[in-house]
């Protein structure tokens, strides 16, 4: 076992505020490929990703907030302002969806969503291991059907699961104290 790899897992933390440079094509390929080794019941490969790069970030934000404004759950002005400020620096967003695959009744949808979650976790780790900051957000209209459609993930066929923001941390990242795992573990006895 590589002690170094384990240290990366133990030290990972989310970093929301990131800026350019984001991952180059090779680094991004490694991040996405890490997602492919997530556990996946039935080999359904339910994960779907859409890359939103910095050159289209502003127009994405414009469409996102215009679409949300027309929906039943518009995004409040102060949240829009904060999100726009955040997005103005983010070099890469990866929109995440789970393919619902109505043809498959054998594997429950929750398991497919868990597989996508596991893929995203691998991607967070792969970003961290390459020195990037990354953050999973279910803001930005994740639960607005019209926004999902705008991104090409029609809610009839996909469960939209948010966005990964990836880039270079803007602020210094300090180590976090994590809870002791023993608080969450008990011993089964028969």
CA distance linking residue 25 with residue 150, whole number of Å: 25
Could you say whether residue 50 binds ligand FMN (CB under 6 A)? Answer: no
Using the minimum distance from each CB to ligand FMN, give the nearer residue, 13 or 104. Answer: 13
How far is the C-alpha of 17 from the C-alpha of 122, rounded, in Å?
A: 20
Assess 168 for contact with ligand FMN (CB under 6 A).
no
Please, what is the end-to-end C-alpha distance for the chain in angstroms?
Answer: 32
Q: Can residue 91 be called a binding residue for ligand FMN (CB under 6 A)?
A: no
- Token pair, residue 16, equals 């929301």
Outline where the chain has alpha helix (H). 3-11, 25-35, 57-69, 77-87, 109-129, 145-150
Our finding on whether 162 is near ligand FMN (CB under 6 A) is yes
Among residues 29, 76, 139, 152, which is the contact residue for ligand FMN, using CB under 6 A?
A: 139
Each residue 93-132 as x (binds ligand FMN by CB under 6 A) or -, in order, gives: ----------------------------------------
Residues in contact with ligand FMN by CB under 6 A are 13-14, 135-139, 162
């Amino acid at each position: 076992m590589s002690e170094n790899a384990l240290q990366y897992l133990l030290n990972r933390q989310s970093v929301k505020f990131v800026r350019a440079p984001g991952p180059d094509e090779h680094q991004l390929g490694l991040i996405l490929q890490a997602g492919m080794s997530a556990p996946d019941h039935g080999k359904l490969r339910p994960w779907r990703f859409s890359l939103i790069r910095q050159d289209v970030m502003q127009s994405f934000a414009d469409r996102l907030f215009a679409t949300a404004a027309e929906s039943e759950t518009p995004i409040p002005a102060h949240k829009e302002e904060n999100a726009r400020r955040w997005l103005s620096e983010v070099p890469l967003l990866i929109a995440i969806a789970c393919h619902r695959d109505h043809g498959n009744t054998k594997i429950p949808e929750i398991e497919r969503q868990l597989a996508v979650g596991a893929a995203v976790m691998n991607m967070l780790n792969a970003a961290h291991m390459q020195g990037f900051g990354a953050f999973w957000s279910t803001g930005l209209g994740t639960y607005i059907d019209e926004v999902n459609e705008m991104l090409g993930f029609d809610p009839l066929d996909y469960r939209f699961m948010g966005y990964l923001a990836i880039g270079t941390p803007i602020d210094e990242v300090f180590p976090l104290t994590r809870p002791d795992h023993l608080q969450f573990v008990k011993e089964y006895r028969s």
